[in-house]
Amino acid sequence: MAANHILVVDDEPDIRSLVQDILADEGYQVESAPGAAAARTALRAKRPDLVLLDIWMPDTDGISLLREWSQDGRPPMPVVMMSGHGTIETAVDWPQVKPLMLAMEQAARDAFAPLGTPVHAFTHLSHLYPQGSSIYAQYVWPTAPGGFAPNFARWQALKKAVAAQIAAHGGTVSHQHGVGRDHAAHLAQEKGPLGMATLAGLCRQFDPHGIMNPGKLLQDGGPWRD
């Protein structure tokens, strides 16, 4: 039986190579395209079983390409949209904005120092409010050899260090960046006793069987479970 054919469309060569290696290791037949023009050519030559399509590309963005492929209401094959932005977002009161920005950047550098690898931090204030501001940070570093595992480990180390500084300065990792069990360690510090008790009460009332929160948001065994 032939392996499923997957087309990876991304203008970043490191991302294309990384995704292609992971899928090939799992036994898939993988083809890659660096942009929309190459993806159109690949699709005309052979229809894939699945397309992994980057959203942000310089020639034609992924959303426009998906619309182009969906003239009859749906694309001729399953499509998974990807975004390659490695970012962390938070918000704090004005007195903490600059100290936290500096602390986040330093935490990233410290996390990579044992590896001897530089990391570049690009930080800006994305939303301004009377009380404070959102801080949006993007981190860039050289891709490690060895495929997915070492690169994911680097991201985990950076995110853990930066999230610790955010919690220490009274912020919280917000938006889609704040999703995941790895944030549970900072949740009690971020929300305080009253906030944790409120979350626990909501979970008991609306999720008594632990379906939406199966020991994730409020980890099993915590004092708020009683």
CATH at 161: 3.30.300.330
What pLDDT does 97 receive? 95
The pLDDT of residue 169? 93
Number of domains in the chain: 3
Instruction: Express each pLDDT in 68-114 by its tens digit.
Output: 898 777 788 888 877 655 678 899 999 999 999 999 999 999 999 99
Q: Is 70 helix (H, G, I), strand (E, B) or coil?
A: coil
Are residues 118 and 134 in contact, defined by beta-carbon separation less than 8 angstroms? no
Distance CA 97, CA 104 (A): 11
Distance (Å, whole) CA 82 – CA 59? 16
Range of the domain at 195: 189-225
Higher pLDDT, 174 or 5: 5
Provide the pLDDT confidence category of residue 1 given band limits of 50, 70 and 90: very low
197 with 221, same domain: the answer is yes
The amino acid occupying position 198 is T
β-pair partners for 79: 51
In a domain, 25, yes or no: yes
Mean pLDDT of the chain: 84
Q: Is the pLDDT of residue 21 over 50?
A: yes
Indicate whether 194 pLDDT > 50: yes
Instruction: Count Cβ atoms within 10 A of the Cβ of residue 66 and give its class: 0-12 exposed, 13-18 middle, 19 or more buried.
Output: middle
Q: In whole angstroms, what is the distance from residue 179 CA to residue 167 CA?
A: 15
Residue 211 — pLDDT band, cuts 50, 70, 90? Answer: confident
CB 128 within 8 A of CB 198: no
End residue of a domain, out of 67, 82, 97: 82
CATH number (domain holding residue 37): 3.40.50.2300
d(CA 173, CA 223): 23
Indicate whether 112 belongs to any domain.
yes
Residue 128 lies in a domain: yes
